């Protein structure tokens, strides 16, 4: 019993630590990734104090990262009857996680890029020098591609998991 419990704790700690390290590679901060890992593998919803204790971080830190995770939609607050404190639980379904992350990255990375490209393409539309034309063409090419990627992302995110998988299997056998 204790042995199995120990083994699980070890595996889970490993996961939390490594997922945190990985988070820094992706543009998100270590603590946020750690909290996410912790909640994804928690049997029940946890309080802010649980998170603070488990990761040995301050209240402010736990609070702001939990808030951020809720803003992403990767974590939701849950109310427990007879409890005044807030509890938090993570979305555990991988397809849900994927679509949330895809949507958020689209909003934060793709859409701003598209706005810039559209503006630069527009601003250079009327320039007739060879350099100007080349610049305009480059902006348009990028704009087209990013716009296309944006649309693809939407379509895939709005699919049901089973359907997306089935489609992919058909394509790639």
Partner DNA sequence: CTGACTTTTCAGTATTTACTGAAAACGTGA
Partner DNA sequence: TCACGTTTTCAGTAAATACTGAAAAGTCAG
Residues forming the site for DNA (CB under 7 A) = 24, 29-32, 47-49, 56-61, 63-65, 67, 84-86
Which has the closest alpha carbon to 95: 5, 2, 140, 157? Answer: 157
Q: Please identify, using beta-carbon distances, which residue of 30 and 105 lies nearer to DNA.
A: 30
Alpha helices in 57-93 (DSSP H): 59-72
Please, what is the minimum distance in Å from the beta carbon of residue 61 to DNA? 3
Please, what is the minimum distance in Å from the beta carbon of residue 32 to its own copies? 14
Alpha helices in 73-128 (DSSP H): 94-105, 111-123
Please, what is the minimum distance in Å from the beta carbon of residue 14 to DNA? 19
Binds its own copies (CB under 8 A): choice among 47, 48, 61, 138: 138
Which of its own copies, DNA, none has residue 7 at its interface (CB below 5 to 8 Å by kind)?
A: its own copies
Alpha helices in the chain (DSSP H): 2-25, 30-40, 48-55, 59-72, 94-105, 111-123, 130-157, 161-172
Binding mask 8-47 for its own copies (x = CB under 8 A): x-xxx-xx--xx--x--xxx------------xx-x----
Task: Determine the Cα–Cα distance for residues 144 and 43; give it in Å rounded to an integer.
Answer: 45
155 touching its own copies, by CB under 8 A: yes
């Amino acid at each position: 019993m204790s042995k199995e419990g120990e083994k699980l704790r070890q595996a889970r700690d490993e996961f939390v630590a490594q997922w945190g390290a990985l988070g820094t590679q992706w543009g998100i901060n270590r603590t946020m990734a750690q909290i996410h890992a912790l909640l994804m593998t928690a049997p029940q919803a946890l309080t802010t104090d649980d998170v603070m204790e488990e990761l040995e971080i301050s209240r402010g830190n736990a609070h702001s990262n939990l808030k951020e995770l809720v803003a992403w939609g990767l974590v939701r607050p849950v109310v427990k009857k007879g409890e005044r404190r807030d509890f938090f639980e993570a979305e555990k379904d991988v397809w849900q996680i994927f679509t949330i992350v895809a949507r958020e990255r689209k909003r934060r990375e793709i859409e701003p890029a598209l706005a810039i490209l559209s503006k630069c393409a527009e601003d250079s539309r009327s320039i007739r020098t060879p350099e100007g034309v080349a610049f305009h063409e480059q902006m348009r090419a990028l704009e087209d591609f990013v716009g296309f990627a944006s649309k693809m992302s939407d379509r895939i995110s709005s699919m049901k998991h089973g359907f997306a998988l089935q489609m992919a299997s058909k394509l790639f056998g």
